[in-house]
Amino acid sequence: MESNKNIKKNIIIIIASIVVIIVAVVVGCLFFFKDKSYRVLKIYQVEGQASVIHGDGSEVTPYENMLLQSGDEISLVEGMMVIKADEDKYIYLENHTRIILEATGTAENSKTTIQLLEGAVINQINEALSDKSVYELNTQNATMSVRGTVYRAEVTVESDGATGSSSDNSATESGNSASGNNYLSVSEDGILVTGVQTFDGIVVTDPLQANGEKSNNEKSVESGKQVRIKREDNKNDYVGDTEDIVFDEFNGQTLEYLDMVVQNGEQDIGKTSEELEDLKEAAGPFKVTFIYDKKVFGTVSVNKAEKVEEPLLMPTASGSWQFNFDTPITEDTDIEWKPGN
């Protein structure tokens, strides 16, 4: 009997030891794979007209929580789209934007590269990158590198070389992407301009040489500052020095995204959510209503500071709209028709 008890006791000890070993192996694997975790790229939010083109050429309509592949071409014609990477990085695409997103390595030691082909994106990195991690954004004439920050980059084309606001899309021209959708595309005519605004942290910019290599003419753009890089006569260079960001130059969508940045992280971007709400109200778009005989003849939406076009149709055979159509629209506006003789 005593022998049987010892055998049972030994069996229990052996089983317990095996269980302990198994638990230790499982815990070790969890820690190991946690350090070696793969990159997770997904569509966080999306509305409107958008598309994703995979490396094999197949095109799909994106949906929330859709997993992305490194090398995907992601486009937003109109609406809204937010991409989430590694649970702590957000990429906000503005209207008429097309990017190629490349992500390699692990979540802890990552390399993220965004090719901004056209349009504008806001980047938010909530956690500081590790020493071995890289986060870059490239355009046709500039490169930007960061370690942990919030910043915006935009590509525009200026037909006459005027140095207007970096948030002004009025000089860009319409074209077609590989997917057949219409975008504000970068034309060979005119001056290519990359605008960079840093809201939190530091972004290191560098104009590219004609061969696509860095020029080693780096400039650090600190919080609250912006810089512009233009390509003229096949040479890329800065437009003056860094300047202060002017928030009321941004359109409503940019301001909406910045409000989301405030809610998704803890960075101080220079404006509170309440202040951004006030700016959004002032940014438009504004409603212009054409009125004839106290009735609505038609309505149109106009962005801030843009001009409204005179309707082709007239309510009566003769008369005129009581408005100077060279006046930029800065608020909701009613325009009345006065019949003539």
Residue 261 in tokens: 């940045």
**pLDDT score at 11:** 67
How many other CB atoms are there within 10 angstroms of residue 221's CB atom? 23
Where does the pLDDT of residue 330 fall: very low under 50, low under 70, confident under 90, or very high at 90 and above?
Answer: confident
Task: Check which CATH number belongs to the domain holding 101 and give it.
Answer: 2.60.120.1440
Q: Domain boundary at 261, 280, 299, which?
A: 280
- On whether both 178 and 251 belong to a single domain, the answer is yes
Segment 248-287, tens digit of pLDDT: 889 899 999 999 999 988 899 999 999 999 998 888 888 9
Residue with tokens 């405030």: 262
Compute the distance between CA of residue 265 and CA of residue 268 in angstroms, rounded to an integer: 9
Compute the distance between CA of residue 204 and CA of residue 220 in angstroms, rounded to an integer: 4
Q: Which residues contact 184 (CB under 8 A, 6 or more apart)?
A: 96, 118, 119, 156, 169, 172, 173, 174, 175
Q: Domain boundary at 280, 298, 326, which?
A: 280
- On whether both 204 and 298 belong to a single domain, the answer is no
Compute the distance between CA of residue 61 and CA of residue 51 in angstroms, rounded to an integer: 5
Mean pLDDT across 113-136: 93
- Evaluate if residue 230 carries a pLDDT over 70: yes
Q: Does residue 243 sit within a domain? A: yes
**pLDDT score at 167:** 39
Q: Closest by alpha carbon to 106, among 126, 86, 88?
A: 86
Where does the pLDDT of residue 105 fall: very low under 50, low under 70, confident under 90, or very high at 90 and above?
Answer: confident
Q: Does residue 3 sit within a domain? A: no
Where does the pLDDT of residue 166 fall: very low under 50, low under 70, confident under 90, or very high at 90 and above?
Answer: very low
- On whether both 269 and 317 belong to a single domain, the answer is no
- On whether both 110 and 251 belong to a single domain, the answer is yes
Segment 26-52, tens digit of pLDDT: 444 444 444 445 688 999 999 999 999
- On whether both 119 and 17 belong to a single domain, the answer is no
Local structure of residue 258 (DSSP, 8 states)? H
Compute the distance between CA of residue 160 and CA of residue 61 in angstroms, rounded to an integer: 37
- Evaluate if residue 176 carries a pLDDT over 60: no
Segment 46-55, tens digit of pLDDT: 999 999 999 9
**pLDDT score at 12:** 65
Q: Does residue 113 sit within a domain? A: yes
**pLDDT score at 256:** 94
Amino acid at 107: A
Q: Does residue 114 sit within a domain? A: yes
- On whether both 268 and 159 belong to a single domain, the answer is yes
Segment 299-324, tens digit of pLDDT: 998 877 788 999 999 999 999 999 99
- On whether both 20 and 163 belong to a single domain, the answer is no
Q: Does residue 275 sit within a domain? A: yes
Q: Does residue 1 sit within a domain? A: no
Reduce the secondary structure of 125-184 to three states and give it as a string. ECCCCCCCCEEEEECCCEEEEECCCEEEEEEEEECCCCCCCCCCCCCCEEEECCCCCEEE
- On whether both 199 and 124 belong to a single domain, the answer is yes
Task: Name which residue leads in pLDDT, 264 or 98.
Answer: 98
Residue 267 phi, psi (nearest 5): -75, 150
**pLDDT score at 232:** 82
How many other CB atoms are there within 10 angstroms of residue 154's CB atom? 25
Task: Check which CATH number belongs to the domain holding 292 and give it.
Answer: 2.60.40.4270
Q: Domain boundary at 233, 261, 280, which?
A: 280
Q: Closest by alpha carbon to 146, among 121, 166, 180?
A: 121
Residue 121 in tokens: 């994106």
- On whether both 31 and 45 belong to a single domain, the answer is no
Q: Does residue 274 sit within a domain? A: yes
Task: Name which residue leads in pLDDT, 179 or 137.
Answer: 137
- On whether both 78 and 130 belong to a single domain, the answer is yes
**pLDDT score at 206:** 95
**pLDDT score at 37:** 53
**pLDDT score at 191:** 85
The total of structural domains in the chain comes to 3
Mean pLDDT across 98-104: 94
15: containing domain: 8-35
Task: Name which residue leads in pLDDT, 148 or 27.
Answer: 148
- On whether both 17 and 29 belong to a single domain, the answer is yes
Task: Name which residue leads in pLDDT, 228 or 173.
Answer: 228
Residue 23 in tokens: 């638990």
Q: Closest by alpha carbon to 101, among 109, 86, 246?
A: 86
Task: Name which residue leads in pLDDT, 136 or 180.
Answer: 136
Supply the Cα-derived Rg of the chain in whole angstroms: 27
Q: Does residue 54 sit within a domain? A: yes
Most confident stretch, 2-6, 73-77, 104-108: 73-77
Average pLDDT score, the chain: 83
- On whether both 253 and 306 belong to a single domain, the answer is no
